[in-house]
Amino acid sequence: MIDSLSLGLAGLVILVGLIAIRMPIAYAMIIVGGGGITLLNGPALMLSQLKTLAYGQFAIYDLSVVPMFVLMGALASKAGLSQALFRGANAWLGWMRGGTAMAAIAGCAGFGAVCGSSLATASTMGKVALPELKRYNYSGALATGSLAAGGVLGILIPPSVVLIIYAIIVEANIVTMFAAAMIPGVLAVLLFLLTIAIYVTIRPGAGPKGGAADRAEFLSATYGLFPVMIIFGLVLGGIYGGFFNPTPAAAVGVFLVWVYGVARREIGLAEMRDALKDTAGTTGMIYLILLGAEMMKIFMSRIGLPQATAEWILNSGMTPMLVMLILLVALILLGCLMDSLSMILLVIPFFWPVLMEINGGVFQGADGAGFGMSTEELKIWFGILALIVVELGLITPPVGMNVFVISALAKDVPMMETFRGVMPFFVAELVRVAIILSFPALTLWLPRVLS
């Protein structure tokens, strides 16, 4: 009879195979997890799990924040926020060489702060910024590459649905994770702006200067940024100030974005219906993946694969930092096969127990044991690092979802040219990972202050 660990490894191989043939990740995890539990313990236990598992997973109060932030993003896409953000950023930056591409990055960061979805950020800002980039004769690589890369900012800058899911998986505080993401998110924006500046210095023709806005246009565009700043400030400020927890904060955000859209006559009954339908579809997809991930987690826990992996690593003599690097590289490689949310749900329940075991669950001193931080701080630090490298999957082949989204909008630019255009930003992201690995305080300082 096959032993438990061999069954677990076979399950992982089958799961990767199902994903490779493009089976939806939720179905693949349900099939492998459910089949594994049945082989281990029989169909009775499997049926018993199905009776209560879905309700137990979806009745968690923290999960109620997911459809609210998804709805806020859906309404933001229809309310004209993206145009206001890009117009305001372009008024400030467009006069420089490469400035319109920089404005697209700044607009992606601002829209990501309201939307929380990388794909929605790339799609919405692409529709707004691509015509301007073409008008100023930007190279196809820089125009599409900057928009595809700018879209990844939506996954980390709060509020982020993927960040919320990670916090729920490892039982971290959502507000703390939002705080931890702020400085790394700002760092990403600065590194992307620097990347564009270096790019156009080396290849001046790739990003010509735009026209400087006159005083009236500059003031009008700047005033247009205020509604976004107010929405962002009230949502996150209310959370950090302790006025409400994330779910009511998301409800406030939905209301404010709806009011903004109605006031601009961008949102009517048809747009509201479409936003609700999009929210229902996206939330249903997320919840089904959550169910599949929980079944995989039960299967892996019963065969003891995470514990066996942790024991093997502990006995291998590898340093904790080397283990962290190996896990991050694995996440980058997996990003070539699946989307970011699926990766977080599938991999984090497997990786996190390994890191927790290595760290020992307590603060380790300067003797080299563990990571030199408490388990709670390790959750925060690893979560931010994991989300950054998960972002890379959105701009790397063969999946590169953001690249596909932008390529669908820029049909005159070959996809390979877009992939070449995102490579400088890929390098910038690796630099950000190196900085955060070297200086964990960049991630941990703000949560420590707020606590």
- The pLDDT assigned to 361 comes to 43
22 and 144, same domain (yes or no): no
pTM: 0.86
Q: Which domain holds residue 131?
A: 63-281
Kindly report, residue by residue over 338-382, the tens digit of the pLDDT: 777 778 887 887 788 888 878 764 334 334 457 888 888 999 999
Q: Domain for residue 24, yes or no?
A: yes
Q: Domain for residue 132, yes or no?
A: yes
54 and 136, same domain (yes or no): no
Collapsing DSSP to helix, strand or coil, 318 comes out as coil
Please measure the distance between the N-terminal and C-terminal CA atoms of the chain and give it in whole angstroms.
Answer: 52
Q: Domain for residue 426, yes or no?
A: no
Which of 242, 271, 303 is at the close of a domain? 303
226 and 294, same domain (yes or no): no
Among residues 73, 123, 76, 130, the alpha carbon closest in space to that of 103 is found at 130
Q: How many domains does the chain have?
A: 2
Spatial neighbors of 172 by CB under 8 A, at least 6 apart, are 166, 376, 379, 380, 383
**Integer Cα distance of 155 and 272 in angstroms:** 24
Kindly report, residue by residue over 290-316, the tens digit of the pLDDT: 888 888 888 887 887 777 777 777 777
269 and 299, same domain (yes or no): no
Please confirm whether the linkage preceding 440 is cis (ω < 30° from 0): no
Q: Domain for residue 419, yes or no?
A: no
133 and 238, same domain (yes or no): yes
67 and 52, same domain (yes or no): no
Minimum mean pLDDT range among 36-45, 67-76, 191-200 = 36-45
Kindly report, residue by residue over 59-99, the tens digit of the pLDDT: 888 788 888 888 888 888 888 888 888 888 888 988 888 88
13 and 155, same domain (yes or no): no
85 and 225, same domain (yes or no): yes
Go through 39-60 and write b for each residue having 16 or more CB atoms within 10 A of its CB, e for each that does not.
bbeeeeebeebeeeeeeebeee
Which of 251, 281, 311 is at the close of a domain? 281
**Torsion region of 374: left, alpha or beta (phi above 0 gives left; psi -120 to 50 gives alpha):** beta
Among residues 230, 149, 226, the alpha carbon closest in space to that of 194 is found at 149
Q: Domain for residue 348, yes or no?
A: no
For residue 3, pLDDT beyond 80: no
Q: Domain for residue 402, yes or no?
A: no
111 and 221, same domain (yes or no): yes
Spatial neighbors of 6 by CB under 8 A, at least 6 apart, are none
229 and 298, same domain (yes or no): no
**Integer Cα distance of 127 and 130 in angstroms:** 6
Collapsing DSSP to helix, strand or coil, 267 comes out as coil
75 and 185, same domain (yes or no): yes
52 and 75, same domain (yes or no): no
Q: Domain for residue 9, yes or no?
A: yes
